[in-house]
Each structure stands twice: as structure tokens, then as C-alpha cells.
Amino acid sequence: MKLRRLLALTVAVPAALAIAAVPATATDSGSSSAATTAAGTVKVSSLYGPADSTGKATARAGVPCAPEATAFRFVVRSPDAIDRVFGGSFLGTPLAADHVADTSVVGPRALFPIGSETQEGVAHKLVTQCYTTVDGVLTITEPASVDVKINNGVWSTLSPETRALPTKIGALRFGLVLFRGFAPGEHVDGTVRAADGTSTPVSLQPQIAPDGTWGGALLTLPATVADGSYTLVLSGTNSKATSSVAITLDSSRLWW
């Protein structure tokens, strides 16, 4: 019986991946308190790095500045702090012919240099600013932005998603977890967090993050985890990006 059920679960993985475009059950996407009218996003290369002067990157807006704009700059916007210019001139860097703000023209720069605010658990935001001057009047617009999170001393622009299938796990203590949005090729670790804040590592197999698509892993809960409600937290080993979903262990049921 157990073997047949395990085989059925294995066969179900491709089908589950096929329908995984449904929004995630839960994420740790977070939110920003900074007001912005940005409609586009910003691509940051690399996707993550140390939250100090060695964590260098370039940024490129996903949408162009207005045709009449002549210069751009990026700013890192942090709570209770003045916007800090990133990867360009304080007064703006001239736009290229395609009008796309891109700091690669000046090369990689530290996203969080020495002395900048690097609070963890706070919503930092990298914002594109376009400069337009008409009749001597300067107008600054913000067409694109991306959230930057800091976990365990690493900044990241990743926003992973997680699904648990099912969310209720029975006495056999295993289920399927789908995830995407971690750095391609990095290992993904899992823990279950109880209401009192205590965490227990869990097994995920396989645990390699795919490139832009949904990956599936078999979740196994250890015998030390008691019945109850938990938060399953997945984290990238290198990026430290996290995502979570609520699960329940109910050993009165064999499966779910």
C-alpha cells in the first residue's frame, strides 16, 4: 500500500509542475513603505551579494525613460533614510539612445557601501529616476523599481514562491513542495517553524533550484515534529532568499 502510494505521488509530480502557474499559497515577498509610481521592474546583476562594500552589482530598468528625458540615476530607498545614489552620478548620467537607464556604463558598484543602512527584515527598494528638463524646469519620474531584501548579511532581489501539495500532512510524514524564484542552481534548505518560534530542519529531495521554472521536491518531516500547525520556510543556501507556506501535521490521518 505504501509503495503504491509513493509511486502515485512520484507520477503526480510532472502534473503538479504543469499546474504550478497558479499563484503561490504563500510567499515572503514583503512590502515597501516608500511611495512610488513605478510600473516596471529593475534587473540587478548579480541577483544577490554581501550586504557590504564587496556586494557589487549593475542595474538596468525594465522600461525606458520618456523620449524627452536626458539623464538617469538609480537610488536605494530605505526606511528612515535619505535616498542614496547607486551606480551613477548624483546629478544624473546621460541616457543612451534606447533611453533605458543602465548602470553598466559605469561598471559594478556596491549596492550597500560602507556606512549605508543595511537593516535586515526591512524593505529596501532600488528605484530608477529619469531626468527631464523643459524650459529650465527639472522633472524626475520613477518608471521602475525592485525590492531589495537583506537576510543573514546577504542582499537579494529574488522573490521566491512556495506551494505545498497537500498543506496537510499525515502519519507517513511526507508531501510535495513546489518552489521557484531562488537563484538558479542553488541549494534550497527547509525548516518548519512552530508558533513559539522554534525551528526544525526538514528534508527536501531534490533541492536544486531550477532556472525560472517550478521545481518539485519531496518533503519529509522528522519524527521529532509533533502534530500541529507550522510554517514551512524555504531558504536559498547562497542567496539567503526565503519563502514560506503554512502546513499542518495530523498523524491521525495516514496521508492527508
pLDDT in tens, 117-173: 777 877 799 999 999 999 889 999 999 999 999 999 999 999 999 999 999 999 999
d(CA 149, CA 123): 6
Query: What global pTM score does this model have?
Result: 0.79
| Helix (H/G/I), strand (E/B), else coil: 3 | helix
Ranges 21-35, 142-156, 176-190: which has the least confidence: 21-35
Ranges 28-32, 211-215, 244-248: which has the least confidence: 28-32
**38 confidence band (pLDDT: 50, 70, 90):** low
d(CA 177, CA 217): 5
d(CA 210, CA 182): 8
pLDDT value at 5 more than 60: no
Ranges 18-27, 61-70, 121-130, 202-211: which has the least confidence: 18-27
d(CA 93, CA 127): 15
d(CA 41, CA 128): 9
Pull the grid cell for residue 140: 524626475
**Per-residue pLDDT averaged across 99-119, rounded?**
89
**DSSP letter assigned to residue 187:** B
d(CA 61, CA 221): 42
Sign (positive or negative) of CA dihedral 172, 173, 174, 177: positive
**Residue of 57 and 116 predicted with greater confidence:** 57
The DSSP bridge partners found for residue 125 are: 77, 147
183-207: b or e for each residue (b if 16 or more CB lie within 10 Å)?
beebebebbbeeeeeeeeebebeeb
Give the model confidence (pLDDT) of 45-76 as tens digits. Answer: 999 999 999 999 999 999 999 999 999 999 99
Do residues 103 and 133 make contact, with C-beta atoms less than 8 angstroms apart? no
Residue-level pLDDT at 66 = 96
The DSSP bridge partners found for residue 79 are: none
